[in-house]
Structure 1
Amino acid sequence: MRFRERGLVWLWLSAVVLILDQLTKYIATEALTLYVPQKVTGFLNWTLLHNKGIAFSLLADQPGWQRWFILIMASVIVIWLLLWLYNSSRTLKLHNISLALVIGGALGNIYDRAVLGYVVDFIQLHYTDYYWPAFNIADSAISVGAVLLIIDTLFRKQDKEHNESTSG
């Protein structure tokens, strides 16, 4: 399969996610005060936070080993996703978009962790006194990409089963 026929042609989307993520983190860092919420709506705050852990700040209270562990694990996963994208046909659009979103988001958080030692989070959703952990554009891209990948996997499997049952 030639390069133009491979899923890697969708890496432009990863680059867009990475650029938007880093741009919004820069703006948040310059415009917000650490740990001071800025109310946007009744359910959304801009709140600058530094997350030294993984999702939901897990491992954030560790003495520092988690930075390197998370960096290595995230890098290995990105390499695996790049190989998966490389082996995918360009025509599997939803599949490739899903992978590209996850790759772009992961690279955004890898960059933060490698350069800063923590991930910059600034989007905080809440309902009355119940707060969702703060997140960023990279986290959003990873989450949307993962959900789309699940949807693609389920529907492509159903389409394949449907085609096999109607052709046999």
Structure 2
Amino acid sequence: MAIRELRFEGDPVLDAIAAPVTVFDDALADLARDMLETMYDAPGRGLAAPQIGVGRRIFVTDVTWKDADPTPLVFVNPTIISASETHAVGPEGCLSIPGRTFAVPRPTWVEMRWQVLDGTIQTARFEGAQAICACHELDHLNGILITQTGQEQ
């Protein structure tokens, strides 16, 4: 495993739409491990592949590790299949935009479909911090930063 170099606002990889993952192999598993190690080192609660210069549709999250036992999740080719009509606005930070926070409206819950590292399809509903984090990281895969979706605080 290795800590990868973070990319910051202004890097073109953060503005591009990431390509779907089509090969589920050891290299993908290594990438996911590197992403988790990089996220924990940063220290963040989520990290998308473009944030380390990789234009592929994969992100990792762990919204509990700072306050409780780690619960790392790896999302490959994620999509939101359903979301609440109600939104909450809260402060969000981003590892690619250090030292700044933004008030970003997010659904209070999302239902997602994604693949895990062996290609198996998963679905789950996420609420609260996990929903916010998943939406934030999915935005990264679509070339969207919180500077485009929120108001700086």
Q: Does the pair score TM above 0.5?
A: no
Structure of higher RCO (CA pairs closer than 8 Å, 6+ residues apart) = 1
Q: Which has the larger radius of gyration?
A: 1
More helix per residue: 1
